[in-house]
Structure 1
Amino acid sequence: MAGGHEPRVAILLPCYNEEAAIGATIDGFRAVLPNATVYVFDNNSKDRTVEIARERGAVVRSVVQQGKGNVVRRMFADIEADVYLMADGDLTYDPDAAPEMVRMLWDDQLDMVVGTRHHEDTEAYRGGHVLGNKAFTGLLAWLFGKSFTDIFSGYRAFSRRYAKSFPASSEGFETETEMSVHALELRMPTGEVETKYLARPEGSESKLNTFRDGWRILKMIGTLFRVEQPRAFYGTIAAAIQIAAILLAIPLFITFFQTGQVPRFPTAILVTGMTVMAALIFFAGLIISTVTRGRREMRRLAYLAIQPPNTPRAD
């Protein structure tokens, strides 16, 4: 790799009941990144996942709290490295793309590189999931002004400054959405590498529940929009209430200009209350946005306190 020094690469594999794939996954990544340390984070597997991982020489850690988000929180907290390469332990992500992802992140001094999935086998990436990915990617771009090609990809390379500044507040598969928004909000330099998405080996089953996890992802996007963009979130609500109040008030004004009277007092009181409510919500958004800006600045300072990729280490 150009310039600087060779990075310490940690390959992070979150796993749950992947005895059919974990051995081949470890071997595949070790073949293309022989100097990297492979960590398997077991999330309460009931099969031989842990035993096989240890036989392959991986460092095994256990995470009791169920859910990929909980695993990611533990991975970033416990592991010390220059580059963190995360992939699922089910052999669906192509190890051959890993060196390029690490090289791009290191040489270009990026904070995150996303492995965007390209598939030819319909069994690898179902049509419903493809459509959902495009819909949520478009929604994220609309709400935050920018997005990635594949926001749900679990194949990513991170810099140390990303890993140690990531709040990791989610619990399940919505963690990839949180990762994307974290990079967007702090305006981190990022990149993408297209990679093949492979069908699961026989005996390996997807842990993703389309509707349950889709709903959780949608809630996570809504929560992140409320927390990270409070002026837009509360301003939209205030505007909707105010527009409804104006529509209700139009007949009142027409009657008043025609007769000089306001006979429908309940409607007039409702319109007044809605207008006051809209104003309160709007100003609440302004106040919360000030708090959000302070929080973002603190995260930015924590991020800047860590050395960027491909710079000489103090040690």
Structure 2
Amino acid sequence: MCVVIPCFNEESTIGKVIDDFRKELPQAEMIVFDNNSTDRTASIAKSKNATVVRVNRKGKGSVVQAIFAHVQSDIIVLVDGDDTYPVKSVHPMVDCIQKGEADMVVGTRLETPGGNGMRWLHRFGNHLLTGFLNFCFRTKFKDILSGYRVFSKNFVRHIPLITTGFQIETELTLQAIEQRMTIKEIPIGYKERPRGSHSKLHTFYDGYRILLTIAVLLRDHHPLRIFSAVALLMAFLSIGCYLKIANTFGTILAVALLLLSFFMFGIGMVLSSVNTRFRELHILLKRK
């Protein structure tokens, strides 16, 4: 088992995070993945006898990709280095992996009274993005943006990751869905950042990137849904143009929109068929 801690300039909290997790999980290896910190994060981690791996490519997603490439443990605990997550919650999360109840366990912050450490705007945005993902992928998740997760070795081996920024938590969840992995959520508390620790999340910019990631993965994994929706919209616009614009231009526009609607639906059908073949191939490769 290992505890992996992605960090960027967390000198005020990293020592306490390492000490707390070492106390709860004395058998676990502590690995700090330092994303080009300019403060004493790396030196403090080394003084706590943690292994420090430097990741030069900027972004939390890049760090998690490095974690998945580097770590070979049977159970991997992923936690931020800002001391906002309750360390004692790690035990029920690890138990789920050890018992084979899940491939990934997520500590959810939004359903507990102890989750008040999150700023109201971040809480609202989290609810909004989680709701959008649930609507698009027909799921019932509570918190897709939590940075407190536990993975099985099988999960790490079979989940491809592409995003490089704060979208990584969303991608972890969506890729797990597509790979038919079992995901379990466990309610946890969430503390305010300690004095001297600053969030690297840019609320609106990173929120937009997360929203875009959901849309892109929906297009990639469920093209028929998104192209059918676009085709239906164009079909309604075609009918509207035909009924409301009673001239030659209106008729031409209506026909063009209707043809485009059929074209978009056809694209969705073709891409969906290609995806099905890739899923079948992936299943066969996993059997080898």
TM-score range with shorter-chain normalisation?
over 0.9
Instruction: Answer yes or no: is 1:249 the counterpart of 2:242.
Output: yes
Partners of 2:225 and 2:248 in 1: how far apart?
Answer: 33
Q: How does 1:50-129 map to 2 (within 5 A)?
A: 50-117=42-109, 118=112, 120=114, 122=116, 124-129=117-122
Partners of 1:189 and 1:121 in 2: how far apart?
Answer: 24
**Equivalent in the alignment of 2:164:** 171
CA contact (8 A) 2:76 2:152 kept: yes
Report the CA distance shift for 1:301/1:113 in structure 2 as closer, same or farther (over 3 A): farther
**Equivalent in the alignment of 2:256:** 273
1:137-183 CA-to-partner distances (Å, cap 9, x unmatched) read 11111100103211110000011111111111111111111111112
Partners of 1:58 and 1:170 in 2: how far apart?
Answer: 27
Report the CA distance shift for 1:39/1:298 in structure 2 as closer, same or farther (over 3 A): farther
1:10-58 CA-to-partner distances (Å, cap 9, x unmatched) read 2110000000000000011111111111110000100000000011011
Residue 109 of structure 1: how far off its partner (Å): 3.8
Residue 119 of structure 1: how far off its partner (Å): 5.2
Partners of 1:302 and 1:170 in 2: how far apart?
Answer: 24
Tell me which moved more, 45-54 or 285-294.
Answer: 285-294
- Opposite residue 138 of structure 1, the aligned amino acid is G
Residue 185 of structure 1: how far off its partner (Å): 2.2
**Equivalent in the alignment of 2:215:** 222
Corresponding residue SS for 1:164: helix
Q: Paired residue for 1:24, among 8, 13, 16?
A: 16
Partners of 1:84 and 1:304 in 2: how far apart?
Answer: 24
- Opposite residue 19 of structure 2, the aligned amino acid is D
Residue 303 of structure 1: how far off its partner (Å): 5.9
- Opposite residue 244 of structure 1, the aligned amino acid is L
Corresponding residue SS for 1:20: coil
Q: Which has more helix, going by share of residues?
A: 2
Instruction: Answer yes or no: is 1:293 the counterpart of 2:276.
Output: yes
CA contact (8 A) 1:10 1:81 kept: yes
- Opposite residue 84 of structure 1, the aligned amino acid is I
Corresponding residue SS for 1:13: strand
Instruction: Answer yes or no: is 1:43 the counterpart of 2:26.
Output: no
- Opposite residue 265 of structure 1, the aligned amino acid is T
Structure with the bigger RCO (C-alpha within 8 Å, sep 6+) is 1
Identity among equivalent pairs (%): 38
Which 5+ residue runs of structure 1 have no aligned equivalent? 1-8, 256-263, 306-315
CA contact (8 A) 1:112 1:191 kept: yes
Corresponding residue SS for 2:159: coil
Partners of 1:68 and 1:197 in 2: how far apart?
Answer: 20
1:257-304 CA-to-partner distances (Å, cap 9, x unmatched) read xxxxxxx22222211111111111110011011122233344555666
**Equivalent in the alignment of 1:260:** none
- Opposite residue 273 of structure 1, the aligned amino acid is A
Q: Paired residue for 1:153, among 146, 150, 153?
A: 146
Residue 201 of structure 1: how far off its partner (Å): 1.7
Instruction: Answer yes or no: is 1:213 the counterpart of 2:206.
Output: yes
CA contact (8 A) 1:137 1:148 kept: yes
| TM superposition score normalised by structure 1 | 0.86
Corresponding residue SS for 1:249: helix
Tell me which moved more, 188-197 or 282-291.
Answer: 188-197
Residue 207 of structure 1: how far off its partner (Å): 0.7
Structure number, greater radius of gyration: 1
Corresponding residue SS for 2:146: coil
Q: Paired residue for 2:266, among 257, 279, 283?
A: 283
